[in-house]
Amino acid sequence: MINREKIINFIKMAKINTYASIGETSEKRLKNGGKKFEYMKDDFYYRDIYFGFNPFIGEEVIFYQKKPIWGMNYYGKVISELVTPKEIYSFLKEALKRVPKNKPYRGPADFNNSDFKYTNNNDGTIEKFCGEEKIFYKNRFVYKLNYYGGFIKNNQELMINN
């Protein structure tokens, strides 16, 4: 039996302590060209592997006692040359540090800082969800990412209590 609240708290902490804090500088480089982030606490392990830069694609998986229990796939791209990718990703990390507890997939619904605005629209719950985040610079659309995911069932039923 896994406590739902523990899963949500772990997802939030894993996201804050990986790409949002050290992305673009401290990820592990893989032989196949991928980049990996990892975070562990107690019986939980988080792994985020992505490929490419612009566009890029990736997958996050949460393991509990070495079994996958939750995952999310994503695909994103800078779509304007109005501002540099470095500036966009720097702002994105600020937004992702504010991952909401009730929907810990990406960043908050809205976040503003100077000339940048982040939006995140999604449907579903932690069990099954999809969403889209966008970044605007001076009200012009410059970045987009789509994501989806949810709980993973293994051979035995995933037992989660509230």
Domain boundaries, the chain: 2-155
Q: Is the peptide bond before 68 cis (omega within 30 degrees of 0)?
A: no
User: What is the pLDDT, as a whole number, of residue 42?
Assistant: 92
User: What is the pLDDT, as a whole number, of residue 26?
Assistant: 67
User: What is the pLDDT, as a whole number, of residue 1?
Assistant: 74
Tell me what the pLDDT averaged over the chain comes to: 90
Torsion of CA 102, 106, 111, 116, to 10 degrees: 180
Whether residue 9 is predicted with pLDDT greater than 70 in this model: the reply is yes
Q: Which residue has the tokens 């982040």?
A: 118
| Residue 108 tokens, joined | 């908050």
CA distance 84 to 103: 29
Choose from 12-21, 61-70, 148-157 the range with maximum mean pLDDT. Answer: 61-70
Which pTM does this prediction carry? 0.89
CA distance 133 to 160: 28
Residues with Cβ < 8 Å from 74, sequence gap 6 or more?
50, 57, 58, 59, 60, 145, 146, 147
Average pLDDT over residues 67-90: 94
